Amino acid sequence: MAIELEGEKTGRGVRVALAVSRFNENLTLRLLEGALMACQQFDVQNDDLTLVWVPGSFELPTIAAELAKAGRHDVIVCLGVVIKGETAHFEHVSEQAAAGIAAVSRESGVPVMFGVLTAYTEQQALDRSGGMLGNRGFDVTVAGLEMANVVRKVRGAVIEPNAG
């Protein structure tokens, strides 16, 4: 019989860090609102919640790495918005934020969630931060709770070899 592990969508006992970019703050505040709604809906206690602000999405991997090193959080949710302009800046910031966040997660063993909207227009970002297409801040926070819980299970699993 195969061993199957799955993380619950609950925040009970899960220590959550929300790292939020101030750049495009009118939009990141909407993502934060969604993330906080998820924390409330899924029973994350206020004492288990940390909110950290950074200047922009490019800085999210740095603060995520520091939060992971501190060892006080079961999941780190990175929230930001990058909107394409007339220069290549969009591509550089988006790529580095994504690569950096993924690297911190792999290297630290702490789930670090990518909640950075990379949109071509402000309307696309609005649609995804509480508009017509939902709130990715909420969605990524729920996914983060699930990841924190499944990581706990994987680390605590007793896997016995097949007899035979």
CA 122 – CA 141 distance, rounded (Å): 22
Q: Are 50 and 16 in contact (CB under 8 A)?
A: yes
CA distance 71 to 37: 24
Q: Which of 9, 12, 72, 89 is catalytic?
A: 89
The answer to whether residue 73 is catalytic is no
Q: Which residues are catalytic?
A: 89
